[in-house]
Amino acid sequence: MRLVGRESRTERDQPGRLDAGPWPSTFLRTPDGDATLGGVSLCAIAGRFGTPSYVMDETDVRRRARAYKAALPDATIAYAAKAFLCRAMADWIRTEGLSLDVCSGGELALARSVGFPGERIIFHGNAKTPHELHEAVEYGVGRVVLDNLPEIARLAVLVPLGKRQKVLLRIVPDVLAGAHAAIRTGGEGQKFGLSLVSGDAATAVHQVLGQPGLELAGLHCHIGSQITTVEPFQEAARVMVRQLAHIRDTHGVVLPELDLGGGHGIAYLPGDHPLDPRHYAAAVTSTIHDHCTALGLPAPRLTIEPGRAVSGPAGITLYRVIVVKRQGSTTFVAVDGGMSDNPRPSLYGAPYTMSLIGRRTTPIKRRVTVVGRHCESGDVIAENVPMPADIHPGDLIAVAATGAYNHSMASTYNLTTRPPVIAISEGTARLVVRREAPTDLLSREVGL
């Protein structure tokens, strides 16, 4: 059996090589029907660690981090922790020389636990608590992204006398982009950022410049997620450069930094075209340079915040088939996980590529709907996907491109425990986040 979709040139030229579109670069099929990741059998991983399990290819993560650094050697690359974060991931990002974008006290605490340098941390959030702001200042984070007017005074009073906290202002560029309405964050009328239209952005500039404990380092924007073309980023860059020029003309201040956020799309299905870091780098840096030249501005130092594009393709989720049954015209394949470990299909209708692994199967395919084990009709992982006609309970299914927004969005719905994270590196599998146990859930109970 091969994956859903067309056989790629790589598959034809290298027997056993899967279509690398949605899959990690080291993912290979073996003649007996198993698959390996980084040279490690996925069946062996399922046998050793159980299912469901998240499997992360450390080599693939590092390769993608290096690709961004190579494409933008003069920029700051800040990995967006919200996509996927654990202590191992934070350490990989740290050792690769990337910065880290966090958006909660919990993400900051985890970064601190591995000694991630504070000056390489950018702290985000549309409603940061006073305690989180205090922790950010206390740890010496490099940049705090101010999202609203009240936050300016709240942060300023926390900065020790004689010190200055560098900040960025999150601006709404009114550029809409993203694969789903729920993840489009660059337009007016959503909860993030300071509006240019209302005047809040201009007010924020004035207020920050008036705070002796704050240093306005630059501007920030984030227009959405799972964006696969460069044009929206170019448009956002033009808007932001115009704002830099306006601040110079109004206040006589040339801000040295511009953070264009992340949202870089990846392949979830064969034939999808992810955003290429080199194409992005060439287009966006050229746009910034040309627009700055036209406005008489020095080009600001660029920061970008890829998250999904670094971790997403490096992850696979393994499930065990529990039930196969036909209801009306639909064949349901129910697995031992679902919306608690991957809520994205329920939230956004997100599609996934999957494959049955672990044995040789019939070449005959039938369309099935792969569902989870939770008490929700919407607990669907993938609809109308081709699977071998002889699929049965006990089979192992691998789902591609689950390295982003799966572990980080996982829940304990129905008091279902969350899966472990297994890292693959140099032909070895190791546990980096253990499986949650019922005792973990009960430990939070304080009595009747």
| Beta-sheet pairing, 53-57 with 315-327 | antiparallel
Lowest mean per-residue pLDDT among 182-191, 200-209, 308-317, 413-422: 182-191
This prediction's pTM:
0.92
Please give the residue that has the higher pLDDT: either 424 or 16. Answer: 424
Active-site residue among 86, 221, 292, 375?
375
The pLDDT-based confidence of 15 (bands split at 50, 70, 90) is very low
Domains along the sequence of the chain with CATH: 9-57+313-442 (2.40.37.10), 59-309 (3.20.20.10)
pLDDT tens sequence across 342-377:
999 999 899 999 999 999 999 999 999 999 999 999
pLDDT tens sequence across 270-288:
999 999 999 999 999 999 9
Q: What are phi and psi of 65, to 5 degrees?
A: -60, -45
pLDDT tens sequence across 175-204:
766 455 554 455 556 688 999 999 999 999
Q: Is 375 among the catalytic positions?
A: yes
Mean pLDDT for 10-33 is 67
What local confidence, expressed as pLDDT, does residue 185 receive?
55
Residue type at 198?
A: S
For the four alpha carbons of 101, 22, 74 and 192, in that order, the dihedral sign comes to negative
Q: What are phi and psi of 331, to 5 degrees?
A: -100, 120
Nearest by Cα to 129 from 105, 112, 158, 148: 105
Q: What is the distance between the alpha carbons of residues 166 and 8, in angstroms, rounded to a whole number?
A: 48
What local confidence, expressed as pLDDT, does residue 188 receive?
59
Q: What is the distance between the alpha carbons of residues 126 and 264, in angstroms, rounded to a whole number?
A: 21
Q: What is the DSSP string of 21-69?
A: TTS-TTEEE-TTS-EEETTEEHHHHHHHH-SSEEEEEHHHHHHHHHHHH
Mean pLDDT for 406-420 is 97
What local confidence, expressed as pLDDT, does residue 448 receive?
84
Six token digits for residue 355: 């494959």
% residues pLDDT > 70 (the chain): 92
Secondary structure (3-state) at 395: coil
